[in-house]
Amino acid sequence: MDLAGVIAIEVVYSVASLILISAGLAVIFGMMRVINLAHGEFMMIGGYATIVSANAGVNVWVAMLVVAPLTVGLVGLVVERLVIRVLYGRLVDTMLATWGLSLVLVGLATMIFGNTTAGISPPISGFALGGYQVNGYNLFVVVVTVVLLASMWAVLRLTRLGLLARGTMQRADMAAALGYDPDRVYMATFFAGSALTGLAGGVLAPLVGLVPTTGAGYVAEAFITVITGGASLIVGIVSSATILGVVSQAFTFATRPVVGEVALLVTALVLLRLLPQGITGRFFRRAT
């Protein structure tokens, strides 16, 4: 029974972390049809922002929930102005440029922080469930994810801004038709997506030993979750994260973690082959 509880927590955590790492990418892809391949490096920056500021004496919660999103949001703004804006509408070129950007950021991080592992200890200690030790911080990650999803839903469904965003997702020229400057909408979107990414990087920082190349591990999973999810923002990433998370955890428990990772990737391939428009491309038509 205890084992079942532990496994359930692990599965929920793995789904939640997939959602968390994909949210920023999904916002940017959904709104702008831009795939940011520097997404993983944005998370890496969020992680370093958290660790550096926490080590400098900032409260650890402030560091991960405020400093990290703001830092990465600002980085995102700069990137949008200098690179993305120039290439808007050229999907493949954007992917290539952001891939280049990701290499630049890895290189910069290596020069600044070196190739050593940085980390902070989780601010929540574990607890025992029967004979098993449960990582309390994992539960915090789940809570953050749920709050994040709820607020994304609320913004999209209940506010004027959300209405505008949903309109833009359906039709790219909607913002202009409604009298908004698309340039500003895209800038705001990229900022928001980057900030979400920074938040994910910050929140996950205590769980990983951070190295400059950490991002590469994230981008593939986030990328896959978003593309597999398809057109609908929230329903898409929740459904694909659930499928992928459950499958990878099942294989992880049955064999070993690397098989879980490979299973996740293979599942994504199969899903894409069966549903080329993503999971929500066929079954859901609403843009939330």
Partner 1 sequence: MSARPQLRGTFVALAAGAAILALAPLVAETYTLSVLVIYAILALSLGLIWGFGGILCFGQAAFYGLGAYTYAIAAINIGESTLPVLLGIAVPFAFAFVLGAVMFYGRLSDVYLGVVTLVVTLIFFRFMNATAGPAFAIGEARLGGFNGIPGFPILNVPGQPRWEIYDGAFYAVCAVALLLVYGLVRWLLASPFGRVAVAIRENEGRAELMGYDARLRKTVLFAVGGGIAGLAGVLYASWAEIVTPGLFSLAQSAEIIVWCIVGGLGTLAGPIIGAVVLGYAKFLLGQQSVIDNTLILGAILVLSVLLMPRGIAGVLGAAWGRAPRRARRPRRRAGAPRRLRSLDRA
The residues that touch partner 1, with contacts defined as CB under 8 A, are 35, 83, 86-87, 90-93, 95-97, 99-108, 110-111, 216, 220, 223-224, 227, 256, 258, 261-262, 265-266, 268-269, 272-273, 276
Closest distance of CB 283 from partner 1, Å? 18
In the bound state with partner 1, the residue whose beta carbon lies nearer, of 97 and 200, is: 97
CA atoms within 13 A on the CB side of 282: 9
With residues binned 3-state (H G I as helix, E B as strand, rest as coil), the percentages for the chain, rounded to 5, are 80, 5, 20
The least CB distance from residue 105 to partner 1, in Å, is 8
Place of tokens 């409260």: 59
Residue placing its CB nearer to partner 1 in the complex, 143 or 258: 258
DSSP state of 278: -
Q: How far is the CB of 96 from partner 1 (least distance, A)?
A: 5
User: Which of 199, 180, 172, 164 has its CA nearest to residue 76?
Assistant: 199
Which one, 115 or 125, has the nearer CB to partner 1? 115
CB of 78 to partner 1, least distance (A): 13
Smallest distance, partner 1 to C-beta of residue 198, A? 20
- Taking the least distance from each CB to partner 1, the nearer of 73 and 278 is 278
Q: Convert 162-190 to b/e letters by CB count within 10 Å (16 or more is b).
A: bebbbbbbeebebbeeeeeebeebbbbbb
Q: Is the dihedral of CA 234, 239, 240, 244 positive or negative?
A: positive
- Which one, 67 or 105, has the nearer CB to partner 1? 105
Contact 213, 103 (CB under 8 A): no
- Closest to partner 1 by CB, 100 vs 130, is 100
> Using N-to-C axis directions, what is the helix angle for 257-274 and 214-229, rounded to 10°?
30
What is the closest distance, in whole angstroms, from the C-beta atom of residue 20 to partner 1 in the complex?
Answer: 20
